[in-house]
Structure 1
Amino acid sequence: MRAKVLSSLRRLAVMNPFLTDLLFSVVVAGVTLAFGVVLGDGSADPGHARRPMDPAGVVLTLVADLALAWRRRAPVTVLVISCAAVIVFHAAGYDARLNGVAPLLALYTVAAGRAPAVSVPCVLGPLASSWHAAFLGPAEFRWPNLAQTGVMVAVAWTFGNSTRLLVERNNRLAGLSERLRHEQEDRARRAVTEERMRIARELHDVVAHHMSVIVIQAGLARYVLGSDPATARGALTTIADTGSEAMGEMRRLLSILRIDLDDDTDGYDPAPGLQRLDQLVERLRSAGLPVEVSVTGTVRALPSGIDLCAYRVVQECLTNVLRHAGPATARVFLHYGVELELRVTDDGRGAAAASHEDGHGLIVMRERVKLYKGTVTAGPKPSGGFEVVVTLPLSSAHPDDHPPRTHGKPKT
């Protein structure tokens, strides 16, 4: 029952602060008037009550106490009115022990809502009213009353100022929490955007390359279907193999997207890397593109991200040669050193290939290489054809970290 009452009071204070303060001021005024009636009868100490409570005293008491209803709206004004009413009440001869609460509550409100530059001077009002009452009381209690009321005024100001500091700290924490929430939402949006870009790059590399091979081989098979069945069967075989490989890579990509923290990741196929360069080259050769590969330096295992990036770069370059260079020979140069250097050239239509430099393929390639702080240079060669040069830093990989690994038989 008590918890329900307190909960109801809290809700009322939040919903209507003025009504709460009004009720509180009515209670303070009622208690003060009740004490005034009790202390003003014939048994009261004549040293305190020189004048019994009358209508004028009731009015002054109501002014001093009911002003607290506006303490949140105009705290300094309420403090001035309350202290003035109390001083007049005591100066008129009423009991000096009454109406000491309202100035203290008003001072607490000022200290809780205003900076010390404002609230410290306001201490003089309650201090003056309480010391005035102490001097009007019996002489033998004067100095103890002065000390007691001084301590009470100091405590009221200290509690109010502590409340102000607590509210300011809570407001700062709320502001920091809100800013942190916005930053977390921004990071989440950026993470989603980056993941979408990564998925788009993977889909482009998988679909563009394999579909290019399939389209070219399908056109060849249709062209020679009646005149050269053996060549048509070879083209259809290449289409089937390329389609199977494309489906495998799509399944790998989808399985990564579906991966859960509790899943066993050992069952997923690894991402392609330069160890599958021979398969890529053979697939392009079967599509009718002569490809020569040259590897120099100490061949070694690469970090998985750089390995995938290098594979996708070579895949994209050879796919572009197949699609745009016309009859041409492609050459792939790999050099393992402090940096991994990839150079893909062809002797086809360089000017025509250059028109595709700003296409989606090269954009995706630049995005991939940029992730690993590499560089991309692409353009037509002076002697004809097109050239793409990519460098990927290998500062974290050293020649002796892993045993050499070759991509088929190197050609020099």
Structure 2
Amino acid sequence: MTPFLERLRAAFGPGAGRKLALDVPLGLLLAIAGTMALAAKAAGPPWERGPGNGPPGPPDGFGPGAGPPPWADIDLPVLPLVCVAAVAVCVALRRIWPRSAFVASAAACTVFVGAAGFHGPILAGMLLTLYTMASRMAPREWLPWTAAGLPLLLTVRFDQSYLGLLEADTYLLFIPYTAMMVAAAALGATVRGRREGRRREHDQALRRSAYEERLRIAREVHDVVGHSLSVINMQAGVAMHVLDKRPDRARESLDAIRRTSKDALEELRGTLAVFREGAAGTAGDRAPLPGLDRVGDLAAGMASAGVSVEVHTEGEQAVPPAAVDHAAYRIVQEALTNVARHAPGASASVRIAYERGEVAVEIEDDGPRIAGPGPAEGSGIAGMRERARAVGGNLHAGPRPDGGFAVRARLPLGAPRSGR
């Protein structure tokens, strides 16, 4: 591409080719209509274009011996033709330079009326540039130009004294022309308002999606890191306690710490991969999110940390949707992490019941009895409740009357349901 074309493309801006492809034919159509209107005005009424008498013969311009066509003697004025061409160019460039196109078309329309004595199709070109300017610019940017262009609508006549400004017809025509300008500007402002509204809704949807994704990642990181660090902390305490007396137990604890940290790192890599460039293209290469089929492994890991966990499955086992399956796993994981953190040495039981249309997950422990209404709800319980609500389920958590703590969640096996 030559430097001239590059500068021209930079001046026109992005999408200039598509805009010109649509607007140039419209400008040519306006130029043809304006020229035809000038020709009709110059030719005069039909009853004045020929003698109207005489013997019948071939019409002018047809057949042998025919005379010149009726438009051969029409002398089109140059200045109105230049104005028509100027308005046609403004229409063709209206979406590239909207304000300049309106100003130039308004001035050309004024000169055209002064020279030709009528508006004709050229007025439509000016109204079109006004509509484009109002639909693409803020009101504070185009209102002053429109107000300055209103006096140009006065039908001044170069062939009359005082340009016809002392004639009443000049001001009577100003009223409908002003109404047409107001209508064109209002239509353009309405179109711009709707476009801006759709853009704001799109931006809000993107921000909401980004917030929900950040919230999801925060929950994932909290669950993975919280559970893993709790297990690692307990195993490290066991290792330090038996390091001198039973080195074999210390080795087992260190091995459990290594496995737990390795699993946690792998899950964190998968969770945080969405921040990497091109993560969407590698989503299929990441390990699937953990579900209820891995609750047994989770219970075994807790047993190595000193928390005995029993898992019971009831009902005809079904395959939940991926989101429900993952939410149920995270609820079990967070509940067991709370047992290890707040009731060390306690035993826990996990009950997974597949019922009609939903899966019930219950986690109970036999920790010490909690006096009063129970501890204040922390981020762990709030996160479990958000996970259940996100897939259309519900969750209840609180101390048991005979001691310990219980978490009960009911999640739908089908599509997420609302209003629960």
Shorter-chain TM-score: which interval?
Answer: 0.5 to 0.7
Amino acid aligned to 2:257: I
Structure 2's unaligned 5+ residue stretches are 1-81, 118-146
Q: What are the Cα deviations for residues 346-388 of structure 1, in whole angstroms up to 9, with x where unaligned?
A: 1103428975552111111111111111111111111111111
Whether 1:113 and 2:174 are equivalent positions in the alignment is no
State how 1:180-219 maps to structure 2 within 5 Å: 180-219=198-237
- Contact persistence 1:328–1:347 (CA under 8 A): yes
Structure 2 match to 1:171: 189
Q: Contact 1:210/1:242 (CA < 8 Å) preserved in 2? A: yes
Aligned residue runs from structure 1 range 364-383, under 5 A: 364-383=383-402
Superposition pairs for residues 38-77 of structure 1, below 5 Å?
72=150
Residue from 309, 316, 325 that aligns with 1:291: 309
* CA deviation after TM superposition for structure 1 residue 272, in Å: 0.5
Determine the C-alpha separation between the residues in 2 that align with 1:378 and 1:72: 71
CA-to-aligned-CA distance 1:114-156 (integer Å, 9 cap, x gap): 3xxxxxxxxxxxxxxxxxxxxxxxxxxxxxxxxxxxxxxxxxx
**Displacement of 1:173:** 1.0
Unpaired segments ≥5 residues, structure 1: 33-68, 115-159, 398-412
Query: Residue deviations 1:14-35, cap 9 Å, x none?
Result: 4798999789767866888xxx
Q: Would the aligned equivalents of 1:299 and 1:336 in 2 still touch at CA under 8 Å?
A: yes
1:252 is matched with 270
Counterpart among 404, 409, 415 of residue 385 in structure 1: 404
- Aligned-pair identity (%): 34
Query: Cα distance, 1:258 vs. partner?
Result: 3.5
- Could you tell me which residue of structure 2 aligns to residue 358 of structure 1? 377
Which stretch of structure 1 is more off in the superposition, 167-176 or 271-280? Answer: 167-176
CA contact (8 A) 2:334 2:384 kept: yes
Q: Deviations over 1:385-411 (max 9, x none)?
A: 1111100012459xxxxxxxxxxxxxx
Structure 1 pair 274/14, CA: closer, same or farther in 2 (3 Å)? Answer: closer
Which amino acid is the alignment partner of residue 271 of structure 1?
A: L
Choose which of 248, 253, 258 in structure 2 pairs with 1:240.
Answer: 258
CA distance, structure 1, for counterparts of residue 373 and residue 244 of structure 2: 36
Distance 1:107-1:270 versus aligned 2 partners, 3 A rule: farther
Aligned to 2:52: none
What corresponds to 2:295 in structure 1?
277
Cα RMSD after superposing both structures:
4.1
Alignment of 1:301 with 2:319, yes or no, is yes
Aligned residue in 2 for 1:335:
353
The question of whether the paired residues in 2 share the 8 Å contact of 1:209 and 1:316 is answered with: yes
Which whole-Å deviations, capped at 9, do the CAs of 1:220-240 have from their partners, x for residues lacking one? 111221111111111101100
Answer yes or no: is the 8 Å Cα contact 2:343–2:367 preserved in 1: yes
- Secondary structure of the 2:398 match is strand
Q: Deviations over 1:194-244 (max 9, x none)?
A: 111001011011100011100111111112211111111111011001011
For the structure 1 residues 167 and 267, does the alpha-carbon distance in structure 2 shift closer, same or farther, using more than 3 Å as the test?
same
TM-score with structure 2 setting the length: 0.61
Spell out the pairing of 1:77-156 with structure 2 (5 A cutoff): 109-114=174-179
